[in-house]
Each structure stands twice: as structure tokens, then as C-alpha cells.
Structure 1
Amino acid sequence: MNAPDRQEKFVVPDDLKKVVYKPDTKVANAGTFVVQREDHTVGNLVRMQLHRDKTVVFAGYRIPHPLEYQMVVKVQTNGKKTPIQTMQSALQDLGDEVQDIRSKFQRELEIEQGRHQGPQY
């Protein structure tokens, strides 16, 4: 078949950077992040997290082509923070949320496993 290898969707080749930032030359306090090997799942999470930041004027993403395996995120701020600072903050906050969810899940899993082990003799 002509289908590309499945790993191409996830593995970033050695000659590509995972993230490239390009400042916008026409709009103040704006820029574009091109992220390799990510899809709508990450794009939507990042976009929604960026929207929580009061300094963000605009945040959006798109997947230019389904066979190119890249995501383009555009960010414009009000000038109090740069787009790079805003993106770093959003990614840090997302990481913290994931860790919190993971900790709660682990705790509940341990409680549930304790219930099913029965009494200890």
C-alpha cells in the first residue's frame, strides 16, 4: 500500500526540531509555533489553556494537511508577556494539571486495589 509508516506520525526525524517559533512581522506581540508530530488532541488542549491567560488576545491552531504531521499554533498577546512566555506558561500549567490527574488516579487505583485484596491475615 501507499500508506506512510505509522511511526512517522509520532517520531520526529533527526533533521527536524520539535517546535519552531517565528515572530509575526505584521501583527504586534504575535507569533507562530510550528509543532512537529502533534495532532488535534494537543492542539485543542494548548489552545484552550492559552485562552485561560488574560494576556492572550488571540490563540488558535490548525493542522495544515493530514499527511504532514504538524500543527501550527498562532498566539497574540496584549504585550504584557511575549507569545513565547505565554506558551511556556500554558505548557507548564498543562503539565501540572496532568500530574495532578495522574496523582489522583494513582491514589484511587491503590484504594481500589486495597478493597479487592481482601483481609490480610
Structure 2
Amino acid sequence: MEHGSFTNNSHASFTLAEEDHTLANAVRFMLNQDPRVTLAGYSIPHPSLDRVNIRVQTTGDPAREVLKDACQELMLMNRHVRSVFDKAVAEFKVEQARLKAEEEEREKAKEELKKQREQLESMDIEGN
């Protein structure tokens, strides 16, 4: 919900329902990165309320558009972080599978060596 002025749309407050510090701080951060923003902050009216108030003041651009742009930038950043994370997880799984295969090969080689030693020990070299 937007609480703003009918005469000056360069500053407004927005209420986000069912949100907390997690989203509000991220949105505030993105807003403060925008050169069009002169003030960006948030407050939580009461700890028992799951509501966040975000205040935006701009150099002249509509506050609603600036907030929308900040949210879109945040979504892009989150997509990038998610793709980097997913790639790292996939690489980790491949590496774990490679290490497991190497370990299995070592175990196989140990078993083969053990069998060869047992065969040599079972041969009666002095009896020939």
C-alpha cells in the first residue's frame, strides 16, 4: 500500500504486509544504491506486526517507479546469486562423485594386491 502526496510524487511511504527486516533491509540497500534517491529507510511499526513501512524520497522521479526499479534490481541480484550457488553446488557434486570413484578404485586396487599376496604366500617356494 502506498501512502504519498497527491501533489508531489517524489516522496512516499509504502507498507509491505507479511514482511520483516529481511526484505526491508535488502530493498533499502538497493534504494540507497540508486542516485535518484535522496532518502530511503524502513521501520517496523511494532515487533508483533508482520508489516514494514518503507520511506522513499527522490530527486524528482516518482517514488513508486524508483521503488519498483529497486525491487527489480534486487530480483536480478537474487537470480544471479542463485545461479552462482546452483553452479557451485553442481560442481561440488561432480567433484564428490569423482573423489568417490577414485576411492573405489583405490579400494579395488588394495583388494587385488591383497589377493596377489595371499596367492604368493600360499605357494610353497621352498618345496620346489
Bin for the TM-score computed over the shorter chain: 0.7 to 0.9
In the alignment, is residue 29 of structure 1 matched against residue 15 of structure 2?
no
TM-score normalised by L of structure 1: 0.77
Match of 1:108 in 2: 88
The 8 Å contact of residues 46 and 91 in structure 1, kept in 2 or not, is answered as yes
Report the CA distance between 1:29 and its aligned residue.
Answer: 1.5
In the alignment, is residue 55 of structure 1 matched against residue 55 of structure 2?
no
Match of 1:97 in 2: 77
Report the CA distance between 1:57 and its aligned residue.
Answer: 0.9
Report the CA distance between 1:25 and its aligned residue.
Answer: 5.9
The 4+ residue runs of structure 1 with deviation greater than 4 A are 25-28
The 8 Å contact of residues 41 and 55 in structure 2, kept in 1 or not, is answered as yes
The 8 Å contact of residues 24 and 32 in structure 1, kept in 2 or not, is answered as no
Identity %: 28
SS of the counterpart of 1:65? coil
Given the alignment, which residue of 74, 77, 80 partners 2:55? 74
The 8 Å contact of residues 14 and 53 in structure 2, kept in 1 or not, is answered as yes
TM-score normalised by L of structure 2: 0.73
In the alignment, is residue 41 of structure 1 matched against residue 22 of structure 2?
yes
In the alignment, is residue 88 of structure 1 matched against residue 68 of structure 2?
yes
Structure with greater proportional helix content? 2
Superposed CA RMSD in Å reads 1.9
Report the CA distance between 1:22 and its aligned residue.
Answer: 1.7
**Structure 2 residues without counterparts, runs of 5 or longer:** 103-128
Q: 1:68-118 deviations in whole A, cap 9, x for unaligned?
A: 210000101111x21011001000000000000000011111111001112
User: In structure 1, what is the Cα distance between the partners aligned to 2:47 and 2:18?
Assistant: 11
